[in-house]
Amino acid sequence: MNSRENQLNALDRLLTIMDELREQCPWDKKQTLQSLRHLTIEETYELGDAILNNDLEEVKKELGDLLLHIVFYAKIGSETQDFDIADVANEICEKLIHRHPHIYGDVQVADEEEVKKNWEKLKLKEGKKSVLEGVPKSLPALVKASRIQDKVAGVGFDWEEPQQVFEKLEEELAELQDEVNAQNQDKIEAEFGDVLFSMINYARFLKINPEDALERTNKKFIKRFQYLEEKAKVNSKSIQDMTLAEMDVFWEEAKRL
């Protein structure tokens, strides 16, 4: 691994390159905070894919892309005299020190759950009006539900046992079935949302990240379906013309593989 000196030199090199690109490259000169936003979101998802695939070489590359975006935003901020990279780094340093009194102060904690609870209490003391204030509105619904549940659990609003959550899930499933039987589309959607919310809550109690679990299933399904498509080609068949029984044969083969 690199020494601290080499790490700092690498960051200095990136800052210098960013200065040069901003001055000389037509594309880089044109960018704004707003124009970079969607690109940053894409890079974050690409990093997420690399992590799920456990591709450490790709993780390294994607972290570099994200670091570039951070430096880019800081450079734009410096041009408007609002903030620069030092302000960004110092801001997060101060926040980390303030929110880790068990490291930088005299607070005693027993475990990570106590750390999380203290974290949320400190945020409220900092002036936030709601525990849920820090959940971004633009998060995908599944991720947002998970973050909401984490946040409220951090201040003690939570179930005591996994079985309680499972029983709540069963209750929500029964309510969904009632609305399906009644064929009330609006209420079906509402109850379906409650089922998903309960499933995400149950995942938390099982120590499972629901986003990762669902993406794992997505990848598994894609792999099996593409196997089915390949086998259809080998047998000179169009998948659209195959019966479900024929497709099921290849699907079961893919599962065994």
- Asked if residues 33 and 89 have their Cβ atoms less than 8 Å apart, the reply is no
Task: Note the pLDDT tens digit of each residue in 56-75.
Answer: 999 999 999 999 999 999 99
Tell me the range of 85-89, 100-104, 242-246 where mean pLDDT is highest. 85-89
126 Cβ partners below 8 Å, 6+ apart? Answer: 98
Position 173 scores a pLDDT of 97
Residue that has been written with the tokens 């998970």 in this structure:
146
Instruction: Give the integer Cα–Cα distance in Å for 232 and 250.
Output: 8
Kindly state the average pLDDT of the residues 114-123.
Answer: 79
| Helices assigned H by DSSP within the chain | 4-24, 26-30, 33-52, 56-79, 85-98, 101-104, 112-125, 141-153, 162-182, 185-205, 210-234, 244-256
- Write down the pLDDT at residue 184: 92
Residue 217, token pair as written in the block: 């299933």
**If we measure between CA atoms, which residue out of 94, 95, 92, 89 comes closest to residue 12?**
89
> How much of the chain, in percent, has pLDDT values that exceed 90?
65
- What b/e string do you get for 84-95 counting C-beta neighbours within 10 Å, with b at 16 or more? ebeebeeeeeee
Mean pLDDT (whole number) for 41-56: 92
8-state DSSP, 170: H
pTM score over 0.85: no
CA distance between the termini of the chain: 39
Residues in the chain: 257
Taking alpha carbons only, the member of 180, 203, 204, 201 closest to residue 190 is 180
CA 68, CA 61: separation in Å to the nearest integer? 11
Structure confidence at residue 109 as a pLDDT band (50, 70, 90)? confident
Give residue-wise pLDDT tens across range 142-155: 999 999 998 888 88
Q: Which of 6-10, 20-24, 130-134, 228-232 shows the lowest mean pLDDT across its residues? A: 130-134
153 vs 130: CA distance, rounded Å? 13
Average the pLDDT over each of 48-52, 132-136, 169-173 and give the range with the smallest value.
132-136
What is the DSSP secondary structure assignment for residue 257, as one 8-state letter?
-
In this prediction, residue 97 carries a pLDDT of 94
For the cut 90, the answer to whether the pLDDT of residue 239 exceeds it is no
Q: Please give the pLDDT value at position 155.
A: 81
